[in-house]
Structure 1
Amino acid sequence: MASQPLIAIVGATGAQGSSVLSTYLNTTSWRIRALTRSVSSSKAKALTERSSRIEVAEANLNDIASLRKAFEGAIAIFGVTDFWTLISDESNKAKVKDGQSFAEWGAEMEVQQGKNIFEAANQVSSLKRLVFSSLTDITKWSGGKYTYALHFDSKAIALKHAEEHFPNVYAKTSILVAGAYLENFKQNPFFKPKLEGEALIFNSFGTGNRPWPFIAAEEDTGSIVKALIELPAGLRVAAHRELKVMSDVVQLIGKAAGYEVRLEQQEFPLPDDLKKDLANIFGFVNEFGYWGNDPSIKQPEELGVELRLGSIEDWVKAQDWSKELNG
């Protein structure tokens, strides 16, 4: 067992990380180390109960030493950061600097956590491949028109830092650029429809004519990451099932759920910094597309491996919408 290659998975209980873990559970030639902030948490205990092949290691993205220890001996690392987890913790508001909004603090912290992943990985002599989950550099690909896409640009900034300061590990890195989560239509109040009589009411933001890339993150991420670990480094891959305009996706959901669909402009009780962040992101996508004109982006079919991602419609039809809408 000890001679088998080891993959260390950051965010192993999250949407992307759990998909990577599940994929490697089906690959018996690899050992799996799942990183968690607390080995005594219910989610960490569930991992150990799921399979004896999962080693749970305690690590904090704010602590480089803990990451270095958790990465030790890894042949491959999957790295991911999460802006939304940072700003969902109300206790973090005490850490905001003067003149800084909470979302700006969250983006700053996400940048640092991304830097920490690369710094810790740079100290792992066994490492052959790091796959880092990132998003589009909106400031760059909009030519400076949209500069407040905080939780997109934060990941891009961390990558730029890695390229400059840790060239050895960056040379072993491939980048997964995740599309919009299909799971948002079940979990995120900005996307999840409201049932009113015989109609599903969807928010009309993001429903322009530009197609969006959609991914079922909990199902699809693992197969793409596995491909990136097996292929040569330096790839930047658009992780998605297919491109579809938002209005067509909501129509698919309405049909699967058995309701007519209405689009309405909805207001959410968001602070101004998050409203500005989302407005920049949706403005960018509707004007420039999800990836802008980034020539380095490769589509999944260009990898030359079979991924079996399915379609958006496949995912929509597989959901229990009666439970989601009435639960």
Structure 2
Amino acid sequence: MTSKKIIAVFGATGAQGGSVARAVLEGKKYVVRALTRDVTRPKAQALRDLGAEVVEGDLNDKASVEAALKGAYGAFLVTNFWDHSSKEKEVCQGKVVADVAKSEGLKHVVYSGLENVKRLTNGKLEVLHFDGKGEVEEYFWSIGVPMTSVGGAAYFENFFGPLKPVKASDGDYYTLGTWRHCLLGDIPMDGISVADIGAVVCSIFNSPEEFVGKAVGLSAEALTIQQYADVLSKSLGKEVRDAKVNHPPEAYEKLEFPGAKEMANMCRFYQMKPDRDIKLTHRLNPKVKSFSQFISENQAALKSS
């Protein structure tokens, strides 16, 4: 019998890691070693029921990472800046995995990365939750780990949370996209369902000769805030309006809430149209959903939000 190669999936009980773990399990080509800080969580048990090997993995503990990657063919790595809001900590976590992947001789790491905005703009913009991932991506390549970097887009699921339609106080309608429109205006915003990322990553693992050493930008489609609002209007049966509040980034970044400057700089970067490849995304996952399809399949979640 030929034993299957092992893919270690960090953050396997999270949204993105969970999507990857399930997709790789469905592909039946690899053994999935699902890494999580808490192996007793219901989501961990669900992965175990699907056939994953569920083990404890802590990005802050090098020994834990070494144990997690022992004997693995490849790994999927996602880090979460918002767990601690520290670029330095995120970079440290990523470099630990890179170093261990190098020493263990992994053949393919797929890293959930983003651009190093500070470097690309010669220090003019700083977007901490992008920049740290960009630094880690550069480090992987600098030490010679066979790696593919996958850069995502805004999650469609955000329209059930931070981007959800808000009922207007002066009428029977909803408004959408206040801060996004402030900073993006009519520039289309790339989006994808996090649930569709897993199949993309699985396809990348299946084609290392094409993707090792490359950065891939993902997007199901790019719509303006008004176009997103139009789709939501049809689903809710009530008008969803683009808020059309006009705050230039210079004014927006001075608003008194945590992360205002971070969001302003992120949207300044989006205005530069970073590379997101819709055609390639659809080739890697032919079942990737448009925003309209996603909302149609998740009407209950939208209405409950």
Task: Give the TM-score category using the shorter length.
Answer: 0.7 to 0.9
Q: Describe the superposition over 1:49-86 as per-residue Cα deviations: whole angstroms up to 9, x where unpaired.
A: x32x1111111111121111111121121011011122
2:140 is matched by which residue type in structure 1? Answer: A
RMSD: 2.4
1:142 and 2:121 aligned: yes
Give the secondary structure class of the aligned counterpart of 1:314.
Answer: helix
1:117 is matched by which residue type in structure 2? Answer: V
Q: Describe the superposition over 1:279-307 as per-residue Cα deviations: whole angstroms up to 9, x where unpaired.
A: 10012212x1134xxxxx75552896553
Query: Contact 2:38/2:56 (CA < 8 Å) preserved in 1?
Result: yes
Q: Which residue of 2 aligns with 1:102?
A: none
Counterpart among 292, 297, 305 of residue 318 in structure 1: 297
1:23 is matched by which residue type in structure 2? Answer: A
- Between stretches 109-118 and 134-143, larger displacement belongs to 134-143
Q: Which residue of 2 aligns with 1:64?
A: 62
The aligned runs of 1:171-186 (5 Å cut-off) are 172-186=146-160
Residue segments in structure 2 that go unaligned for 5+ positions in a row: none
How far did residue 108 of structure 1 move? 1.4
The aligned runs of 1:188-227 (5 Å cut-off) are 189=162, 191-196=163-168, 198-207=172-181, 208-218=185-195, 220-227=196-203
2:89 is matched by which residue type in structure 1? Answer: M
Counterpart among 217, 220, 243 of residue 238 in structure 1: 217
The aligned runs of 1:93-104 (5 Å cut-off) are none
- Between stretches 28-37 and 205-214, larger displacement belongs to 205-214
Q: Describe the superposition over 1:293-325 as per-residue Cα deviations: whole angstroms up to 9, x where unpaired.
A: xxxx7555289655321322111221125x533
Q: Which residue of 2 aligns with 1:18?
A: 18
Query: Contact 1:64/1:119 (CA < 8 Å) preserved in 2?
Result: no
State the alpha-carbon separation in 2 of the partners of residues 86 and 26 from structure 1.
32
Give the secondary structure class of the aligned counterpart of 1:3.
Answer: coil
Size of the aligned set, in residue pairs, is 289
Q: Which residue of 2 aligns with 1:101?
A: none
Counterpart among 133, 137, 148 of residue 159 in structure 1: 137
Query: Contact 1:213/1:290 (CA < 8 Å) preserved in 2?
Result: no
State the alpha-carbon separation in 2 of the partners of residues 44 and 163 from structure 1.
31
Query: Contact 1:65/1:120 (CA < 8 Å) preserved in 2?
Result: no
Query: Contact 1:228/1:235 (CA < 8 Å) preserved in 2?
Result: no
Counterpart among 280, 289, 299 of residue 273 in structure 2: 289
Normalising by structure 1, we get a TM-score of 0.81
Normalising by structure 2, we get a TM-score of 0.86
State the alpha-carbon separation in 1 of the partners of residues 152 and 189 from structure 2.
11
Moved over 4 A (4+): 265-269, 297-300, 302-306
Q: Which residue of 2 aligns with 1:270?
A: 257
Q: Which residue of 2 aligns with 1:41?
A: 41
State the alpha-carbon separation in 2 of the partners of residues 298 and 247 from structure 1.
22
State the alpha-carbon separation in 1 of the partners of residues 230 and 260 from structure 2.
26
Give the secondary structure class of the aligned counterpart of 1:47.
Answer: helix
1:116 and 2:90 aligned: no
State the alpha-carbon separation in 2 of the partners of residues 6 and 212 from structure 1.
36
2:60 is matched by which residue type in structure 1? Answer: N
1:238 is matched by which residue type in structure 2? Answer: G
1:179 is matched by which residue type in structure 2? Answer: A
Distance 1:250 1:63, change over 3 A: same
Query: Contact 2:11/2:78 (CA < 8 Å) preserved in 1?
Result: yes
Q: Which residue of 1 aligns with 2:80?
A: 82
